[in-house]
Structures are given as C-alpha cells and as structure tokens.
Homo-oligomer: A and B are copies of this chain.
C-alpha cells in the first residue's frame, strides 16, 4: 500500500494560455517546419515565440530473455559523433506508437519482441517544440533478421549485459537524451518489479 506522502501530487494549476495574435510560417517540409507566433504575454505585452515542428517519435529499450540489452552504435550528423544509443525514430503518418516501435526495433536491430510495455513518454525540448517521444520496453526480444537501416543511417548492433549499460550511463557516455531517459525508466521499473 502506498503511504499518503508517496502519492503523486497533481499537475500544477494550469496557467492561462498565451493568446496568439499572429502566426508566420517560416518553413515547411515533409521533415520539419518552423513558425514564429506573436503572442500576448501575461503582463499584457506582446512577445514572439518560435515553434519548431517535427513529427512525434518512439524510443525502444530492447531486453533479451537473459536480461541483456541491445544498443546500436550510431553516427549523428548534427554533432558528427558516433555513440551507443537505443533504437529510435520518428513515427510515420497514421502509424501508432507501438507499430512505430516494432518497426524501428526491426529496422535498426533486426529484433522482434515477445511483449511490449509502455514507459513514460516525454517532450524532449518543450520550450521550443511540441515534439513528443513515446518510450517502450521491448521484452523477450529475439534476433530474427539483419538490421536494415536507411541509406542515411550508419548503425552497429551490439548486446550488452545490464552492468555494462549502467557503466556507460553513469560515465555519461549515453549522451543521446532519448536513450538516457528511456533506459533509466526501464532500470527503475525493472528494479521495482514492474517489468
């Protein structure tokens, strides 16, 4: 039983939304968009707010029956480095979060999961974007194919014991935010017997 002090507090009372006075489209493409809204601030003054638009995403924590976790070594063009990450990617139009998670797991690692559990999702950068990421735990994974990344993806698939993944995490080497957040939820929930 949960002690009263352990119950989750409610969200704070919602602030009234800014009024939108104008919205200027700066850029639109199938990949991303950018707009600049003119808003009425709480003190009555006018302000500008940029909003960066990209489709929502999924990130997957693949666990094998023996407890090992699957990571991918991935090159990221924006900063030029190659890091260990969890499989992740954007949702296609009309795709459910679970279907996107199954697809990304297969494309990027060649694995299929026996059971899926939704972990808490998150807004990676909610100061500038409504972009949302759905996080999934993929349990009882098995490798059924070779990874089949897109031409723009460079990927190395590797399985690690949990201890080594935690060592990577605490050394700050899992520098991709999607990876760190979904992995830490998975570790917490595993330790709490929720997975």
| A→B interface (CB under 8 Å) | 2-3, 5-9, 11-15, 17-18, 26-27, 29, 31-32, 34, 37, 39, 41-43, 45, 47-52, 54, 73-84, 88-89, 120-133, 151-152, 154, 156, 158, 160-161, 163-164, 166-178, 180-181, 184-185, 188-189, 192
Which of B34, B74, B128, B156 has a CB less than 8 Å from the CB of A27?
B34
Q: In the complex, how many angstroms separate the beta carbon of A39 from the nearest chain B beta carbon?
A: 7
Copies in the assembly, this chain:
2
Q: In the complex, how many angstroms separate the beta carbon of A69 from the nearest chain B beta carbon?
A: 12
- Bound Cα distance from A133 to B176, whole angstroms: 10
The 14 listed contacts between A and B (C-beta, < 8 Å) are: A8-B164, A11-B81, A12-B82, A12-B83, A34-B34, A39-B77, A41-B152, A88-B127, A120-B171, A122-B177, A125-B131, A126-B176, A133-B177, A170-B188
Cβ of A156 and Cβ of B12 under 8 Å apart? yes
- Bound Cα distance from A79 to B37, whole angstroms: 13
- Bound Cα distance from A164 to B9, whole angstroms: 7
Please give me the 6 A-B residue pairs with the lowest Cβ-Cβ distance, nearest first: A12-B73, A120-B172, A15-B75, A8-B167, A184-B184, A122-B177
Chain B residue with Cβ nearest A88: B127
Cβ of B6 and Cβ of A41 under 8 Å apart? no
